[in-house]
Each structure stands twice: as structure tokens, then as C-alpha cells.
């Protein structure tokens, strides 16, 4: 093939692709257009996938009884009706799934911010777990305080309170930051308004639910309430639970605990949960029971 013929073919292909008509124009490549493309990317970012309310998201194409199914979705934040592209999920739900999985991992592996603990006026103690890896692999050590923690609680906590409340990271540091600022004051206010004596609140690092039994014995509280981060899922990484027990003792059965779970902005709101927990504690004190022995 002649060189001139090859050159004409190349120019024709470039022209059809709507690129520069001549080699000289191609070299220019219009820097202003490149800048415009960059600005379009910056100004046209996709929405934050973590902010999508999946109860409002319905991606099934041409559904039967779509309106009825959509109404059912409003009652449960589940990943239903997200549609598919062939045999695979659509891009948007897949990105949301990956973001939720990342948030869950961060909630488990990150520690609660020290500044936040100070802002809440909580002193800090630690279980027998020395680090996060031990905490995740040795649940038994997360149920017992280290020696220093025992001495600090004896020194700083009010003796023989009617109710002892403490906060723990559990399996979600994110839940502490998201809920405790509203939840803890709501419980304290609810109890104090009913004339119920409350002990000195504090924070337990690397804590499991069972640590409340030892804390109950150390403080000699009638009722112990542990506000602890729940294991994160793919709906939320910020869920918190309140485990409450009357006269908790080390080695007691789990059936003696009363639980208020799913405390987060898309579940039971922290302020509402705080008022509910205060009322439960009041009933516990009246009936001197908790867990399956307590009839609410």
C-alpha cells in the first residue's frame, strides 16, 4: 500500500471518530477541552452511596405489583428489589454493598476517639485484652478487667449506687461516636427525674458484654447497664445495644440480661432508647428481676 493511501485512510478514520481533521490539529488537542472534561468530572460526581436510603431504592425494571412491594420495603431496611444486570447486581447496589462492608470493617478495627471519651467526661479502663487482635480472638479476656482497671474503678466510682452505667466499644467503635452523646444523657436524665441514684459512668476499652458482671460486683450496684457497640452488619455499622441486669454476678446465665438493641438513627433513636431504658431500669428495681424473670 502506498504511503499516501495509508495517510488518507488514517485521516478518514480520525475524522469519523470526530478527532482532529489533520495531524497538526491533533497535536494541539485543545487544552481547554481537556480542562472542561476535568471540570465535568468534578462537578458531576456520583452521589455518596453511603447516603442512599435503601428503603427508598427500588431498581426492579417493569415489576409486577411494584407499588405494593415498594410500600413493604418502607418497613424493613433490607437490600430487596435492587434489580440485576444479567446475572449480576447493578453497579449502584454493588458500590453500596462494598461501602457498607468497608464501614463495618472500620467499625470493628478502629478505636473510639480519645477526645470523644474526654468530651463525655468518662474515665477509661481496659479489659485483659492488650490489643484489638487479642480482643477479636480471645472473647474470654474481654469479659474480665485488667488489674489496673479494677483499682481505678474502686477509686473513682461511687460506692453502692442504685444504677451503674458504663460505655464500651464492643464490636463497633462507630456506634459509640454516633449514639452515646444523646443516649447516655437521656438515660441519666430519665433516672434522675425519678429519683434513682446513678453511679459514676466510665468507658471500657476492648469490652465484651460479660464484663458487666465483674463491674456489678466491684461497684455493688443494684442494676448494671452496659452500652456497647453491636457487631456491624451491611445495613448499619453504628448500632448499639444496652445490656441491663439486676444484681449481676460473675458466671451468671445469659438469661438474666435484658437487652435493648438496634439503637441507631435508622432504628430506635438514641434519645427515645434512653427514655425506654430508664423506664425498664425503674421496673427492674421495683420487681427485683431482669432477663427472662422480668415481665414487662
pLDDT for res 111: 94
Cell numbers that stand for 55 in this block? 428503603
151 domain-assigned:
yes
Among candidate residues 169, 168, 166, 163, the one with its CA nearest the CA of residue 194: 163
163 domain-assigned:
yes
209 in Cβ contact with 261 (< 8 Å):
no
28 domain-assigned:
no
Give CA angle at 247 (241, 250), nearest 5°: 80
Q: Are residues 148 and 226 in the same domain?
A: yes
How much is the pTM?
0.79
Structural domains of the chain, count: 2
Q: Are residues 122 and 166 in the same domain?
A: yes
272 domain-assigned:
yes
- Look up the CATH number of the domain holding residue 195: 3.40.50.11240
- What is the spatial distance between Cα 52 and Cα 79, in angstroms, rounded to a whole number? 12
Task: Tell me the three state secondary structure of residue 100.
Answer: helix
34 domain-assigned:
no
pLDDT for res 90: 87
Find residue 193's DSSP bridge partners: none
111 in Cβ contact with 205 (< 8 Å):
yes
146 domain-assigned:
yes
Q: Are residues 220 and 165 in the same domain?
A: yes
DSSP 135-153: HHH-GGGGGSB-HHHHHHH
Q: Are residues 204 and 249 in the same domain?
A: yes
Q: Are residues 139 and 275 in the same domain?
A: yes
Q: Are residues 81 and 221 in the same domain?
A: no
| 98-137 pLDDT tens trace | 999 999 999 999 999 999 999 999 999 999 999 999 999 9
How do beta strands 223-229 and 163-168 pair? parallel
> In which residue ranges of the chain is pLDDT below 50?
19-41
144 phi and psi angles, rounded to 5 deg: -130, 140
Among candidate residues 146, 154, 289, 169, the one with its CA nearest the CA of residue 240: 169
54 in Cβ contact with 77 (< 8 Å):
yes
Q: What is the DSSP letter of 198?
A: B
Which segments of the chain are extended strands (E)?
84-85, 88-89, 123-126, 163-168, 202-205, 223-229, 240-246, 257-263
pLDDT for res 23: 46
| 211-234 pLDDT tens trace | 999 999 999 999 999 999 999 988
39 domain-assigned:
no
Quote the distance between the C-alpha of residue 275 and its chain's center.
Answer: 21
pLDDT for res 45: 64
Buried b (16+ CB within 10 A) or exposed e, 35-44: eeeeeeeeee
Task: Output the CA torsion 116→122→123→124 (10° steps).
Answer: -60
- Full domain range(s) for residue 266: 114-293
Amino acid at each position: 500500500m502506498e504511503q499516501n493511501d495509508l495517510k488518507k485512510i488514517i485521516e478518514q478514520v480520525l475524522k469519523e471518530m470526530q478527532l482532529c481533521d489533520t495531524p497538526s490539529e491533533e497535536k494541539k488537542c485543545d487544552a481547554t477541552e481537556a480542562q472542561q472534561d476535568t471540570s465535568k468530572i468534578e462537578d458531576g460526581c456520583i452521589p455518596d452511596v453511603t447516603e442512599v436510603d435503601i428503603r427508598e431504592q427500588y431498581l426492579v425494571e417493569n415489576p409486577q405489583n411494584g407499588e405494593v412491594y415498594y410500600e413493604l420495603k418502607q418497613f424493613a431496611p433490607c437490600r430487596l428489589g435492587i434489580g440485576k444486570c444479567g446475572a449480576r447486581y447493578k453497579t449502584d447496589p454493588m458500590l453500596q454493598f462494598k461501602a457498607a462492608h468497608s464501614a463495618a470493617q472500620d467499625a470493628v478495627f478502629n478505636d473510639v476517639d480519645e477526645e470523644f471519651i474526654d468530651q463525655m467526661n468518662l474515665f477509661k479502663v481496659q479489659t485483659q485484652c492488650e490489643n484489638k487482635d487479642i480482643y477479636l480472638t480471645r472473647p474470654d479476656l474481654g469479659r474480665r478487667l485488667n488489674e489496673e482497671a479494677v483499682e481505678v474503678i474502686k477509686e473513682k466510682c461511687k460506692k453502692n449506687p442504685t444504677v451503674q452505667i458504663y460505655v464500651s466499644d464492643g464490636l463497633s467503635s462507630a456506634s459509640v461516636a454516633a449514639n452515646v452523646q444523646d443516649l447516655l444523657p437521656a438515660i441519666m436524665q430519665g433516672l434522675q427525674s425519678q429519683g434513682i441514684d446513678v453511679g459514676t459512668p466510665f468507658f471500657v476499652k476492648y469490652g465484651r458484654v460479660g464484663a458487666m458482671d465483674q463491674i456489678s460486683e466491684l461497684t455493688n450496684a443494684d442494676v448494671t447497664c452496659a452500652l456497647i457497640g453491636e457487631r456491624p452488619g451491611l445495613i448499619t455499622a453504628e448500632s448499639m445495644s444496652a445490656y441491663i441486669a439486676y444484681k449481676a454476678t460473675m458466671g451468671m446465665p445469659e438469661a438474666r440480661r435484658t437487652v435493648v438493641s438496634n439503637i441507631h438513627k435508622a432504628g430506635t433513636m438514641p434519645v427515645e432508647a434512653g427514655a425506654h431504658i430508664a423506664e425498664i431500669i425503674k421496673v427492674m428495681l421495683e420487681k427485683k428481676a431482669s432477663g427472662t424473670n422480668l415481665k414487662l
